[in-house]
A = this chain, B = another copy of it.
Amino acid sequence: MDRTASHSEPRYGNRPTMKDVAARAGVGLKTVSRVVNGEAGVTPDTERRVQEAIEALGFRRNDSARVLRKGRTASIGLVLEDLADPFYGPLNRAVEEVARAHGALLINGSSAEDPEREQELVLALCARRVDGLIVIPAGDDHRYLEPEIAAGVATVFVDRPAGKIDADMVFSDNFGGARDGVAHLIAGGHRRIGFIGDQPRIHTATERLRGYHAAMADGGLEVNDAWVSLGVTEAERVRGAVETLLDGESPVTAIFAGNNRVTVTAVRVLAEREQAVALVGFDDIELADLLGITVIAQDSAALGRTAAETLFRRLDGANDAPAQKVLPTRLIARGSGEIAPA
């Protein structure tokens, strides 16, 4: 008895349209539109008849058609590195909340740190005519977005700068945060401090490294080249880097970990050793309090919220020159960063 709908082409599984509702209610198409959109100028009686027809038919407005006509999709796109990365969770959610407050839906995707995939995703979103775009860049050349931005797609970059185009951007204070973290170690009496961070092609990594150097310079300390490991983020390599720092010719008494993955591995390695080595990590981690890990925390939700608010300000017509916002980081002392030098 189950009749599998097998019609010709369009028709979304055979859904009723406003025209069908109008026919059933015995009114004009536009009257249905008025009722559906809550516009004024419909008598209660007419409205009731239309509502009944809507119920009976199970009508739901087709927003695709609406979008086509109105020119705004009431949706924004968010492209981040990895939806599964806990750092982006609060950012994602914050963006969603702002979007929701503006009646917009959120389409999102992961670039997987791949510039090509980022571009592919961004352009797919543009083809859907999202009203705006929030991008955590994977690539460093965003000129491909120029025509889109010119055509009116508001765009905000978060966490890392846009490449080769002028746009709104929102960052954490990576430089200041790292500087503060390293200064904290110096204030604790450390003079030999290691830095393990991401590849220098990643902007945040460079900024944090700059912060490290600045703090060392401020403290009047020389940096031994052997203390700095870049491009090290994979667990096994971090392990190696930590061991080199501690067992090398010029051992350090403290380590600054340039991101959360590094921090986690460093904690693991240090836990296996006798030595008391101080550690400060960039980015907070769940349960870091229980483990007593001192960190420089970014406010990932604030990053998302600020970006989304900037975006909607643009969509509401703000016309001032693109600007960069830098959000402060916060040092959270929990023990690992307060260990005295050996």
| Shortest distance between the CB of A177 and any CB in chain B (Å) | 21
Q: A62-B68, A88-B89 are in contact. List 15 more A-B contacts (CB 8 A).
A: A5-B152, A12-B129, A12-B151, A13-B153, A15-B151, A83-B93, A84-B92, A86-B86, A93-B110, A105-B125, A264-B286, A264-B287, A286-B287, A287-B287, A287-B291
| Shortest distance between the CB of A82 and any CB in chain B (Å) | 6
Among listed A69-77, A180-188, A191-199, A226-234, interface-contacting one: A69-77
Contact assessment for B10 and A71 in the assembled complex, using a CB-CB cutoff below 8 Å: yes
Contact assessment for B109 and A105 in the assembled complex, using a CB-CB cutoff below 8 Å: yes
Q: Which 3 A/B pairs are nearest by Cβ-Cβ distance?
A: A13-B152, A58-B147, A84-B93
Residues in chain B near residue A150, CB distance under 8 A? 58
Give CA–CA (A88, B151) in the complex, Å. 35
Count of A residues near B, CB < 8 Å?
Answer: 67
Residues of A within 8 A of B (CB): 4-5, 9-15, 58, 60-65, 67-71, 73, 75, 82-86, 88-90, 92-94, 96, 100, 105-110, 123-129, 147-148, 150-153, 264, 267-268, 271, 285-288, 290-291, 301, 319
A60-B152 contact given A71-B9, A71-B10, A129-B12, CB 8 Å threshold: no
Contact assessment for B152 and A12 in the assembled complex, using a CB-CB cutoff below 8 Å: yes
Residues in chain B near residue A69, CB distance under 8 A? 10
Contact assessment for A151 and B10 in the assembled complex, using a CB-CB cutoff below 8 Å: no
Give CA–CA (A152, B5) in the complex, Å. 9
Residues in chain B near residue A73, CB distance under 8 A? 64
**Residue in A13, A108, A147 with the greatest tally of chain B CB atoms within 10 Å:** A13
Contact assessment for A109 and B106 in the assembled complex, using a CB-CB cutoff below 8 Å: yes
Give CA–CA (A89, B83) in the complex, Å. 6
Contact assessment for B71 and A151 in the assembled complex, using a CB-CB cutoff below 8 Å: no
A286-B109 contact given A4-B319, A152-B14, A319-B4, CB 8 Å threshold: no
Contact assessment for A290 and B267 in the assembled complex, using a CB-CB cutoff below 8 Å: yes
